[in-house]
Structure 1
């Protein structure tokens, strides 16, 4: 039978118990309502005072009033039961569109793939979920082993010699690749191809904006995938690196061997980005085509879409460039008894002794996402990885063929693609309009390109098809699209 050690002066009903926790113990040390928020009311007040502000509203005074949300001020938690709060919030969440069972053809950097239950089961184990950064190898062998396996897998699928212990996401990984290329070559000029995801380009610009050692030159959007020859001609002895994406943002698959040769001829580096890591199970890897750095997104393996994050940045390079690589590297060694062991071999970042000479400001890795990636890829194996890739490709080919054959005047832009392709709608029909109309019918039609290019390519739609799309999904999509384009 449960009992309180201290005997209260007043009758101890439910409401007194609540007051006991909210007032009886100092909330600066115990605050059950903010379990995962480290700041207490006292510390927030101290920060505001230091900034010369009297309230949190003053901190946000520059935000236009019409952009502020005040709906949650209507919640009166003190007068609501837990069940009432739960039901109220749940009714708000119901306004979101549940896409889990809808025909879903949206890609553009985040993809809907099946994540086997094995991944969740293993990653939720305490030794993985709560494991801290492995500074002390003697007590972190499990974490270090998982990271080592992850690095090995990334190096294998990208065709590179070495990979780091993961990064935040694909866009920041590609931005770090650009900075690394400039460090390694001691040159400023960076040529960014027109097939790179526009969001990735924005991140590159943000990360290099205040660096005097980087000058970015942007190629126009490569809608038709014909820009490789221009990139080859643009490389000269002042070029630090050329940045391309394969498959490109528009879905095109490129042979990059000639571009790699042109870069190396002028002692420049070829940086290849990617958003769909599953493509590496079907197409030639970056390393096989001569790339110096491969950087991109690993979300497709083991990680759900999660409204855009957290995701997983993959980064691989050559052994020659290893010491200029950002992040950390786990290596294999032997312990005092001669047994196989793992240790943090390389960690040239700001928290270590190099300080201002650190190669990167990356402070951590996406550890739990990296474990999920490793668990999923291990469960697939090399054969399963390739089979899943070809399954995606075959489904995309089937959908593209149905669209072109059954809908008059629609145009397929790509001649080669993996599981994502671009279509041009007839009669200058707005892709933004078509996606809104199909969403009303319960179909997520794809990514309207006009939203990312300021209205340009507004009649173009980027469509992704993965193993999660059934024949029924495809039939429903093509039928609805055909009806709307009449």
Structure 2
């Protein structure tokens, strides 16, 4: 279309082309009950610079994560992303074909995904990883479906420490099916899953560090699951923690899923993110998504191809293991570049710094008389306030302090969590930020 139909003559002409006598006739198939009578009060059209000024003014009303003390976590974390990452992801040799259907012209993308898979496998302690998924929550749901296919059992137990959004995603995926058991929230880390495992259990799903910040005993849970012929699925929402904690694969996990946002990907007002999924090699045929491999071409040159692609859009059709039709390629690229820049020692230092900042936060909160529920944590913890957390958080937000996530916002209708607040600290959390939070909490709680 060369222009927008501003005039009545233009509109009549366009309606005539499509065979409609009027605008009302064009929308005749739509029931009147759903059309509504709302008439938006929109301003007249503006020049480009006027629109830009208006949009800048709107953007200026946002309070971004870096604009003040920031303690929000709960699955999305504020970390430093080097400027190098943004520069490199835009280079043409990496930012090549979106979907590598034709390997001969997609070598940049394929090599990056191959390296990404290797990094994820090393990080999680597993034998094989796929070329990423949408995000951590959908990766968790895909892991549950995968476990049911492998074991040919239906019963799946979700730990009470699993992130509520991840739990809800699994519930949505399995809507209408039997066998899913969701345990009650366990803010104090006492949700015991072992006694619920039986011979009909396909898998148990635990998160460590869990939604409330507690570390879980992966080895004990793996032994209990394997004794009954079940699989252990371990969820990690803060991937930086694996720079300090032992890899789940080394502790007996069968499938590891994670959210990779913390490495290479800024918060960006909610996404997009990158889902990580890794497993033992014997389960690779049931792995969802795609797998990139290394080979040689007809001339003996090193090359990369899609080795396994089990999604329904490819040859698997109705036998596909997943209907996720893409991977988060650009976010995976950012993840891989950032992790390469850090290296093993750099990731370990970053993880230690995160834990150190969280320890300083926990000590400051406890020193102010605020109850910290965690005996163990990485960079996130839960506190119990003497009053509901939501009004306190909103009051501090009005003062420019983003003081964590009230549990009741993710677990509505549960009075036992109304006073609970999840806080996170990262390498970007300063002593001044912690002091501002503690002073703000003292003032509101007084």
**Same fold, TM-score > 0.5, yes or no:** yes
Deviations 1:423-444 (A, max 9, x none): 1112xx1110111111111100
Question: Contact between 1:53 and 1:59, CA under 8 Å: does it hold in 2?
Answer: no
Asked if residue 356 in structure 1 is aligned to residue 318 in structure 2, the reply is yes
> In the TM superposition, what is the alpha-carbon distance from 1:23 to its structure 2 partner?
6.7
| CA deviation profile, 1:199-218 (whole Å, cap 9, x unmatched) | 111100111114x4x52111
Structure 2 counterpart of 1:171, from 137, 153, 157: 137
How far apart, in 2, do the equivalents of 1:480 and 1:209 lie?
Answer: 43
Q: Which residue of 2 aligns with 1:3?
A: none
Q: Which residue of 2 aligns with 1:137?
A: 103
Quote the residue 1:475 is aligned against. 435
Could you say which residue in structure 2 is the equivalent of 1:10? none
- Judging changes above 3 Å, is the alpha-carbon distance between structure 1 residues 57 and 294 closer, same or farther for their aligned structure 2 residues? farther
1:262 deviates by 1.3
| Residue 62 (structure 2) aligns with | 96
1:351 is paired with a residue of what secondary structure? coil
Match of 2:258 in 1: 296
TM-score (norm 1): 0.84
SS of the counterpart of 1:330? strand
Question: CA shift at 1:284, angstroms?
Answer: 1.5
What stretches of structure 1 of length at least 5 have no aligned partner? 1-19, 25-40
Equivalent residues of 2:65, 2:78 under 8 A apart: no
Tell me the CA shift for residue 299 of structure 1.
0.2
2:329 aligns with 367
- Structure 1 pair 279/60, CA: closer, same or farther in 2 (3 Å)? farther
Residues 83 and 253 of structure 1: is their aligned pair in 2 closer, same or farther, counting only changes over 3 Å?
Answer: same
- Native 8 Å contact 2:98 2:329 kept in 1: no
Q: Does 1:110 align with 2:76?
A: yes
2:377 counterpart of 1:417: yes
* 3-state SS, counterpart of residue 248 of structure 2: coil
1:5 matched residue in structure 2: none
Q: Contact 1:123–1:129 at 8 Å: present in 2 too? A: yes
Distance 1:56 1:319, change over 3 A: farther
1:432 match? 390
Partner of 1:33: none
Equivalent residue in structure 2 for 1:202, among 148, 153, 168: 168
| Residue in 2 that maps onto 1:254 | 216
Q: Secondary structure at the match of 2:142?
A: helix
Partner of 1:464: 424
Determine the C-alpha separation between the residues in 1 that align with 2:411 and 2:314. 41
Residue by residue over 1:2-29, the C-alpha shift from the partner in whole angstroms, topping out at 9 and shown as x without a partner, is xxxxxxxxxxxxxxxxxx94279xxxxx
The number of residue pairs the alignment matches comes to: 431
Q: Residues of 2 paired with 1:120 and 1:287: CA distance?
A: 31
| 1:216 counterpart = 2:180 | yes
Q: 1:403-459: CA deviations, max 9, x gaps?
A: 111x12x21100000000001112xx1110111111111100000111112243111
Does 2:308 correspond to 1:346?
A: yes
CA contact (8 A) 1:194 1:218 kept: yes
Q: Give the Å deviation of 1:91.
A: 2.7
Question: In the TM superposition, what is the alpha-carbon distance from 1:64 to its structure 2 partner?
Answer: 8.7
Deviation at 1:483, TM superposition (A): 1.9
Partner-residue secondary structure (3-state), 1:167: coil
State the alpha-carbon separation in 1 of the partners of residues 406 and 248 from structure 2: 28
CA distance in structure 1 between the aligned counterparts of 2:70 and 2:339, rounded to whole angstroms: 23
Residues 95, 109 of structure 2: 8 Å contact kept: no
Question: Cα 1:464–1:21, aligned 2, differ >3 Å: closer, same or farther?
Answer: same
Contact 1:240-1:269 within 8 A present in 2 as well: yes
Greater Cα shift, 382-391 or 89-98? 89-98
* Residue 405 of structure 2: aligned partner: 447
1:76 corresponds in structure 2 to 44
Q: Secondary structure at the match of 2:114?
A: helix
Q: Could you say what secondary structure the match of 2:140 adopts?
A: helix
User: 1:82/1:323 Cα in 2 relative to 1: closer, same or farther (>3 Å)?
Assistant: same
CA distance in 2, matches of 1:258, 1:367: 35
1:334, distance to aligned residue in structure 2 (A): 2.2
Residues 155 and 59 of structure 1: CA distance in aligned 2, closer, same or farther (over 3 Å): farther
- Unaligned 5+ residue runs, structure 2? 6-13
For residues 401 and 89 of structure 1, do their structure 2 counterparts lie closer, same or farther at Cα, with a shift above 3 Å needed? same
- Report SS of the residue matched to 1:306: coil
Correspondent of 1:86 among 52, 64, 68: 52
TM-fit CA distance, 1:56: 11
Match of 2:112 in 1: 146
1:312 — aligned with what?
274
1:377 pairs with 2:339: yes
